[in-house]
Chain A
Amino acid sequence: MPIIDKEGNFLAVADNVETISNSAAIADVMAQFANAEILGIIFPTHHDGRGYSLTKKLRRAGFNGKLRAIGPLIPDQFSDLIACGFDEIEISDEQFLRQPLVQWLAAKEISQHSYQNNNSTKTSIFQSRRQKIAANRHLNLVRELP
């Protein structure tokens, strides 16, 4: 099935991915799959958000392999999935037909800013502000837009 990696490359290779449920306990996953090359987290629906937190926890627990989000996910979730720690997304052929690669790339490009400082492809607004404040400090100026 079609796979899109976080750089936006289309991968169609068949591979042996280990999959886990989005409600799996971290300790169990680490005991069984700590050294897996690729671990797939199943999203039963696109609006079941447990996989996002699970990924964060797995990264925190030291999982270093690739994490793949598998399920009926949509292009608009692309950058959020990456921000939480996923490397790639696997969707169905039907969905890839309806939402081809260009839509995934466009969705990722369209929002460039984020209020969170994380593993994001977006620019952190807090960081941008800090840089600007530092740059302006000697002028003691914080610009206010009308």
Chain B
Amino acid sequence: MYRYDEFDAAFVASRNAQFANQVARRLDGSLSEDEFRPIRLRNGVYLQLHAYMLRIAIPYGTLSAKQMRVLAQIGAKYDKGYGHFTTRQNIQFNWIKLIDVPQILAELAEVSMHCIQTSGNCIRNVTADHFAGIAKDEIADPRPIAELIRQWSTEHPEFLYLPRKFKIAVTGASADRAVIRAHDIGIQIIDDVKRGIGFRIYAGGGLGRTPVIGKIIKEFVTHEKLLGYLEAVLRTYNSEGRRDNKYKARIKILVNETGLEEFIKQVEAEYAISDTSSVDVDADEIARINAYFALPKLLGRSETKYDAALNDSAFADFAKYNTIPHKIDGYVATTISLKPIGGIPGDATSTQMLAIADLADKYSSGEIRITHHQNIVFPHVAKDDLPELCAALGAMGLATANVGLISDIIACPGLDYCALATARSIPIAQEISKRFESSQKQAEIGNISINISGCINACAHHHIGNIGILGLEKSGRENYQITIGGDATLDMALGERLGPGIDAEDVPDTIERIINRYLHLREEGEEFIDTYRRLGIEHFRVAFANQGQILSEDL
């Protein structure tokens, strides 16, 4: 894991002193609210429906057990005893008092954490594959480059007042688990036959009210030149991006309105005359950062206890759904689902966070990851420890074996917390998850993603859920639009609307009818998305047309 050196630590300390000074100047009237707002947002402080929300950066979703303990304490001391993990691998606390913020920032700084650029119209906290460094399909670990981008983008003097927020994600594997094509910039590590390891750059992706899939703007950039190239993209966007309408200010609109080819031409022209020497990364710095991400020492272990435990069907389910093979034999990456049946997706209590920290020390070399699915990963678990870990997690209500299944729902905070929401999303997720409570049923349905956003801003990525649910408001009532066929992988696809919006009470029935329809239509070996792709949306519309009654063929 990356560890702060004294320079990183000094930076965060002076940044905290700066923010304390800014808060004081806001209070004495030197700074107006309009002047203070971007500063507050760049420090992760949002004004929400009921209170201030503080969003803490977990760069590329990696944190240590020690850091998790501090998050648990913050939840207990300053919030209501829990925190909420987000779809951008961060954590947010929804019940914070503004007056406590400087103290919280100081406690975070003790463990090399901060809230810098988790909000506001700047380059946001960078995200990466949650299985980075572990997955067998990996070309190279995306975290060193994500860390480099974190440093470069931190308080970059030129890019603090962009037209709109700017999100960057990196993947180093052949399967994209970082949803890079839904980001303003997506970076894919590739191994080019001639040129070796380098980066392919996508730009202009983003969901929100105008969903757009990111397109390739550069086939290959070297490690050394990456930051220089990113500066050229950002400078082009900062100069040309629209500022007259906040809904048209993201880079995706600039790319669309300029035209992809013309946009690429502009970036290349900018890049060609840029003096990148100030951001070119030398081999020493690359080596310095790389060294932090070496695998921990993982000893060879027997698998006898693991094999024996497989006789227990609950454990077998956990092993099947919540683990993936590790680069090192005898180890697995284990996902802890924060989606218990009927629970709030992504929420963890302080008690659970503390337990997670202790278990990570014991079973995962002290390392923890946060996924954009709002789950937690222990990256390095010996298979032989898995039965014990599973039992310990079970005691904390954390052993739900549903990763990738229908109850592993991604949902944003929605109307329960968010000031922008037009409808609730958490209760919808809870109802759907209860509806499909049976683990046999979930296993039968197989891999499927449901994403629920509480407004058009699409924080839960509903466009790219296999089933997407968007909560809107229609004549004073919550109204939900259902899409199907979205896909979050490199073959990214946006879901298609099934029909007109429906009431909250009808959502679980409708989802059940869609699922029954799929179970009826699917062929051997197909997952939901395959059946949809083979047949198209029309075959699913009947599930929608017959509101209120379950079709006989579905029963």
Contacts and interface: CB of A to CB of B under 8 A. Distances in A.
Interface of A: 23, 46-50, 52-54, 56-57, 60, 72, 74, 76, 79-81, 83-84, 98-99, 103, 106-107, 110-118, 120, 125-126, 128-130, 133, 142-146
Given A47-B38, A133-B284, A145 B9 contact: yes
Given A103-B25, A111-B14, A142-B288, A49 B161 contact: yes
Contacts of B154: 115
Interface stretch (B29-37, B129-137, B174-182, B519-527): B29-37
B6 interface: yes
Interface residues of B, number: 51
A103 B275 CA distance: 33
Interface string B11-50: 1001101100110010001110011001100000000000
B160 A74 contact: no
B152 interface: yes
B504 to A, nearest CB: 37
Given A74-B31, A98-B29, A103-B25, A49 B160 contact: yes
A48 B243 contact: yes
A56 B288 contact: no
Contacts of B15: 111
Given A53-B158, A113-B11, 4 more contacts: A46-B34, A49-B158, A53-B235, A98-B30
Contacts of A143: 5-6
Nearest to B163: A49
B10 interface: yes
Contacts of A48: 161, 243
The 10 A-B residue pairs with the shortest CB-CB distance, nearest first, are: A49-B161, A80-B157, A83-B157, A117-B278, A125-B7, A113-B11, A53-B238, A115-B151, A52-B158, A110-B18
Interface residues of B, dominant DSSP: helix
B196 to A, nearest CB: 24
Interface in B431-455: none
A125 B282 CA distance: 14
A79 B7 CA distance: 19
A13 to B, nearest CB: 25
B239 A129 contact: no
B276 to A, nearest CB: 11
Nearest to B32: A98
B159 interface: yes
B388 interface: no
A20 to B, nearest CB: 14
B155 interface: yes
B121 A47 contact: yes
A103 B158 CA distance: 22
A120 B349 CA distance: 43
Contact of B5 (A83, A115, A130, A144): A144
B151 A113 contact: no
B162 interface: yes
Residue from B5, B15, B112 with most neighbouring chain A CB atoms (10 Å): B5
Nearest to B17: A110
A23 B38 CA distance: 22
Contacts of A76: 18, 22, 39
27 contacts: A47-B121, A50-B243, A52-B158, A52-B161, A52-B238, A53-B238, A56-B158, A60-B273, A74-B35, A76-B18, A83-B157, A83-B158, A84-B158, A111-B14, A112-B10, A112-B14, A113-B10, A114-B157, A115-B154, A116-B279, A125-B11, A125-B151, A126-B151, A142-B5, A144-B3, A145-B6, A146-B3
Residue from A49, A83, A129 with most neighbouring chain B CB atoms (10 Å): A49
B4 interface: yes
Contacts of A114: 155, 157
